[in-house]
Amino acid sequence: MKRSIRVEFDELAKRFDLRVIFRGVSGRAEPGEVLVITGPNGSGKSTLVAMLCGLLRPTRGSIRYVDGDDGELSRDEWRSVLGVVAPSMGLYEELDAMENLRFFAKVRGVHDAESLCRDLLGRVGLDPGRKTPVGGYSTGMHQRLKIAQALLHDPPVLFLDEPGSNLDPTGQDWLEGMVLEQRERGTALVLATNDRREMEWGTRHVALSG
């Protein structure tokens, strides 16, 4: 059964040298809901996502992951409960899609993952039997593979940074269905976007001013 995790953040601020990216940002992502982060280009949406994932330290403020049954998680435990789809995510372009997922499943400690990898590729609309290195994939296919990678360990917290930016209309329809499915399964979703359609999926919103 999926763990029930919420993410809370309070009065976050981030500064690089003398440049203040944002300050005083608070919010939370609850299980079964979608927190949408919006703001103009350069306002710090991706920076905020990276901080909530534990990849960047805030200059000020606090972030908490809270298990509904067991209380607050340590920072070292965050990685085991989150999945991330972001432009900065890398894929091994010399490997095919199945080889990529097998590798990331091993890194995640997902055992006996062969059937899971095949199922995930099918769910995102990619052919698990295709042997083409992903370096030859379109940007939309790359995005679908990144989403499959993020779902490998069925994370209770899912971060989506501009997830539909490289998807065609069919892919965007699929993405909306995936977000709805994850909500129904009790995932806490954080979605950084300026896409009007994706903004409508939010049950909570945080707007960065830039």
User: pLDDT-derived band of residue 132, with 50, 70 and 90 as boundaries?
Assistant: very high
pLDDT value of position 117: 95
pLDDT tens readout for residues 28-59: 999 999 999 999 988 999 999 999 999 999 99
Q: For residue 182, count other CB atoms closer than 10 A to its CB.
A: 22
Three-state secondary structure of 109-138: CCCCCHHHHHHHHHHCCCCCCCCCCHHHCC
pLDDT tens readout for residues 155-192: 999 999 999 988 999 999 999 999 999 999 999 999 99
Q: What is the CATH number of the domain that holds 16?
A: 3.40.50.300
CA–CA distance, 186 with 154 (Å, rounded to integer): 11
Percent of the chain's residues with pLDDT above 90: 85
pLDDT value of position 154: 93
Structural domain that includes position 140: 5-207
pLDDT tens readout for residues 72-82: 999 999 999 99
Residue scoring higher pLDDT (83 or 17): 83
Do 105 and 152 meet the contact criterion of CB atoms below 8 Å apart? yes
Cα-only R_g, the chain = 17
**172's tokens:** 């965007």
In Å, how far are 15, 57, 64, 138 from 163, measured between CA atoms? 26, 23, 24, 15
Do 138 and 146 meet the contact criterion of CB atoms below 8 Å apart? no
**In the chain, how many domains are there?**
1
User: pLDDT-derived band of residue 1, with 50, 70 and 90 as boundaries?
Assistant: low
Do 203 and 34 meet the contact criterion of CB atoms below 8 Å apart? yes
CA–CA distance, 69 with 81 (Å, rounded to integer): 14
Q: What share of the chain is helix, strand, coil (3-state, %, to 5)?
A: 35, 25, 40
User: pLDDT-derived band of residue 210, with 50, 70 and 90 as boundaries?
Assistant: low
Residue 85's SS3 state is: strand
112 pLDDT more than 90: no
pLDDT value of position 34: 98
Q: For residue 31, count other CB atoms closer than 10 A to its CB.
A: 19
pLDDT value of position 174: 92
Q: What is the mean pLDDT of residues 75-102?
A: 93
| pTM tops 0.75 | yes
